[in-house]
Structure 1
Amino acid sequence: MTLKTLAASAALIGLGLIAATQWRLAAREAAAVKSHPPTGQFVTVDGLQVHLQVAGSGPDLVMIHGANGNLREFTFALMDHLSSRYRVIAVDRPGLGYSDALPGDVASVAGQARHLRAAVAQIGVQSPIVLGQSYGGTVALAWALQSPPAALVLVSSPSLPWPGVLDPWYRITATPLGRATLVPLASALVAQSYVRRTIDLVFAPQTAPEGYADHLGIGLTLRRESMGVNVLQINQLRPQIEVMEQDYQTLALPVELVHGDADTIVPVHIHSAPLMKILPNGALTVLPGVGHMPHHTHPDAVIAAIDRAATRAGLH
């Protein structure tokens, strides 16, 4: 076999692999949308759709999910517990779930906060309690720095710069080339069983509630656009926090923080504990032996923090 023939064969194999990957991507993404369609309503901000779900009546409570998630994070159980006394508005952050991504590389938490504020204003939300879980808590802090809501509830939220470097996946996908090559491959090839094991690590030392992964929609999180937006947002987070922390002392609104002391994803001693020394009106609840997902594993503690925030803000 000549060198030219070998090159032609290799090219054909390469094209075949690309075609197979594209077919698998399309099939997986179509299946994800079919099995987990939008559950809420859409509003349009600057020509872009924002997906949100509303339940209950009472003081407005906006809930913002964390990295690589969607509003189903809160509709699994927490929204039902709260809707008897709050109007709960769960949102898909831009580029995740069913909300359109912000244009270009605008993935800042400040940009997301402005976008979500404009979205919920369309359904009459004026001065809500804003709850953010994990990455969503950083968006909630950006919201408060722009236009203080009635109160904040931060659950396992990154708020201060952290030492060290991100996991290899995020470092590799930090560049446009890395995202363009690796994200589609991961989207096409990563097994749902691997994602389920990752979810177990996020919940550790507790375990995820039965049915949580199926409700969240693993296929939604594995879509190319969602994965690409997520890695971009995570890679850009720390420099933004370094800027934001300079203004935390101006946040005079009530802030309730809930954090497990066994959280290895966002350690309390790096984030919520030192943040308490900066916030003029903060209150921290540390949950012994609890990991990163107390809104599922210890919902009573999170609900109590929401109620305290409402009381401190004069809403109850």
Structure 2
Amino acid sequence: MNITIRQLEVFLALFDTRSFTAAATQRHMTQSAVSKVVAELETQLGFALFDRTTRRVQPNAQAVEFHPFAVEIIATMRSAARSVAELADLQRGRVGIAASPMMVYGLLAPLIADYRKRYPGVQFDLHELSTDETVASVLAGRVDFGLGAIDHEIAGADTQVAFEDSMFAVVRADHPMAARKKVPWKALALWEHISLRNVYTVRRTIDDIVARQGIALPSAIEVGTLTAALGLVRAGAGVVVLPGYAARIAQEWGLKACAIADIGATVHRIHVIRRQKSTLSIAARRFLDELRMSAGKLPARP
């Protein structure tokens, strides 16, 4: 038995239309070609599939029984073809992402490195931006998607929480707080802080928390990058509060990350930001899926 995909597609067209004329139109074939293909399929199967009259074609009991198997085979083959096409696309794709510098460094860098080991043909175009600039870049179509903590609806964009992270106080290894696994916000108010500019939603998250706590974090230094903040902490200029993915970088710098005791375990929500009605490339969609899965496995503390 050597049944072909073409035979199954013609069978399904004739089964659905009950007409050689309609089936021929649907399959872009002549009526005689449809009749010939169906006859070949019936020969392969060893039984008739249709009761034919001069005006109508009626599927018989064998056709009704055979129909779901034909549907399943065609669906499987189409799915396989899509998978192969996607794999081919992953050999030459491009992914554009906008995110804060600390997110690129602490969250995306290891994921991109791992992804490119498996798909070396995929190129990445990374835009290290503030949260506001990230949103603008997404809306302008300059990137496939952005990452940021969003606290309001954005016209023209779809946002979805990718993961939630805890906040940590980062100090020098010889700082009085370094020996503590957890510190309360009120204890943090006793020390000078390095602040990120408020164009980053990490800063907005912190400002909101301390306002609800009824405290103030003294700060005489404001910076725009993670490396500047960590460099100042290492120099002994103060303390910085960071989300967990960035606090893990601080440990690589020889700094100590202390969990903050009196806030919820998940206070900093990172969103995927996409332009409404946009369609991601296969490469971008695959990476975004992997990002969501990996981010969901982030440990509660660095």
TM range (shorter): under 0.3
Q: Which has the higher strand share?
A: 2
| TM value normalised by structure 2 | 0.27
